[in-house]
Amino acid sequence: MSMVLGAQQSAGLGVEVRGFDVDAVTPAEIERLTQTVYRDKVVVLRDQGDITPAQFVRLGRMFGELVSYHEPMYHHPEFEEIFVSSNVPEDGKQIGVPKTGKFWHADYQFMPKPFAFTIFSPKVLPAKNRGTFFINMAQAYEALPDELKDAAAGTRCSHSVRKFFKIRPDDVYRPLGEVIREVEEHTPPVTFPTVMEHPVTGEKILFISEGFTVELHGSDDPDLLDKLFEATGQLDTEFTHPLIHQHGYESGDIVIWDNRTLIHRALHTTTPAATVSHRVTALDDHPLYARAL
């Protein structure tokens, strides 16, 4: 079967792809998928349940240069390009890191070069709460009242991993101050425009997240960042804000999303159900943004 793209899902996020075969895909098909990710933000490749870690890495490379996560404890034991989120030990050993990403963020927003694409492969899905929340931050920008758009214009934001940096096994018994100093040294905050133009679609994106964005510079209003979090739905603890999309997974899905435009958050599970996912992350040939607004 050859690759078939469905229509944009009526629920608002995602184009479904059937018949995708990682061993037969052509460069033209990858280009089509890439453009679909830029325009429609989420692409869901169905029925990829048999994909091996080696094939998954190969798939990722077709979208761009892969970047391995900066903290090795997240790496797949054989493929450092794969970031493993897991609460299921293998042979009594923890693989990857449990409970990742349960906060609003864009991947690597705290680094100098945030990724263009996140490619996500759920491996073990819990029976309930199998999904990810998304907010489209271009849509969120457009929905802002004019006074917040004006207030955000020309400002910049700093982003840091500090609130969600996970303590590593080797950090046990280390002074917390020393660990904090190391985090600030290895991953100092980065600063980007608060509003940026998407280099491919030209959309205006509000590039902030409650998890990683720690400071807004260039405004007289000390509450502006909180107002922007509030207006974009990031402070809604019930997840009913109209900008929040809940995306569900079927087993065998591989989901590719535009990490410039979407912020996401792992769905909060109430029970400690087994959950395993793999992801790879790729850069593209475009700068993070075409211009600051």
- Taking the complex as a whole, how short is the minimal distance between the CB of residue 183 and ligand 7UC, in angstroms? 11
Burial class (CB in 10 A: 0-12, 13-18, 19+), 102: middle
Report CA-CA distances (Å) from 212 to 76, 110, 186, 189.
24, 6, 16, 9
Report CA-CA distances (Å) from 160 to 54, 188, 222, 227.
31, 7, 19, 19
Interacting residues with ligand 7UC (CB under 6 A)? 97, 100-101, 107-108, 161, 164, 166
What's the CA gap between 81 and 98, in Å, rounded?
18
Alpha carbon dihedral 179, 180, 184, 187, in 10-degree steps, equals 60
CA terminus-to-terminus distance, the chain: 45
Per the CB < 8 A criterion, the answer to whether 282 and 67 are in contact is yes
161 binds, among ligand 7UC, Fe ion, none (CB under 5 to 8 A by kind): ligand 7UC
Could you tell me how many residues of this chain bind Fe ion (CB under 5 A)? 2
Q: Based on CB atoms, which residue is closest to ligand 7UC, 151 or 258?
A: 258
Q: Which residues are 264's β-sheet partners?
A: 105, 134
Per the CB < 8 A criterion, the answer to whether 205 and 198 are in contact is yes
Query: How many alpha carbons fall within 13 Å on the CB side of residue 13?
Result: 27
Q: Based on CB atoms, which residue is closest to ligand 7UC, 97 or 276?
A: 97
Q: Based on CB atoms, which residue is closest to ligand 7UC, 97 or 293?
A: 97
Return the residue of 14, 101, 126, 233 that touches Fe ion, per CB under 5 A.
101
- Taking the complex as a whole, how short is the minimal distance between the CB of residue 97 and ligand 7UC, in angstroms? 5
Q: What does the chain come to in residues?
A: 293
What's the CA gap between 206 and 215, in Å, rounded?
14
- Taking the complex as a whole, how short is the minimal distance between the CB of residue 216 and ligand 7UC, in angstroms? 20
Q: Based on CB atoms, which residue is closest to ligand 7UC, 64 or 231?
A: 64
Return the residue of 40, 81, 107, 284 that touches Fe ion, per CB under 5 A.
107
Stretch that binds Fe ion, among 60-68, 98-106, 153-161, 239-247 (CB under 5 A): 98-106
- Taking the complex as a whole, how short is the minimal distance between the CB of residue 102 and Fe ion, in angstroms? 10
Stretch that binds Fe ion, among 40-48, 82-90, 105-113, 150-158 (CB under 5 A): 105-113
Give the distance, in angstroms, between the CA of residue 212 and the centroid of all CA atoms in the same chain: 12
Stretch that binds Fe ion, among 68-76, 101-109, 159-167, 219-227 (CB under 5 A): 101-109
Q: Based on CB atoms, which residue is closest to ligand 7UC, 72 or 222?
A: 72
Under rule CB under 5 A, residue 96 binds Fe ion: no
- Taking the complex as a whole, how short is the minimal distance between the CB of residue 67 and ligand 7UC, in angstroms? 9
Q: Based on CB atoms, which residue is closest to ligand 7UC, 32 or 102?
A: 102
Instruction: Tell me which residues touch Fe ion (CB under 5 A).
Output: 101, 107
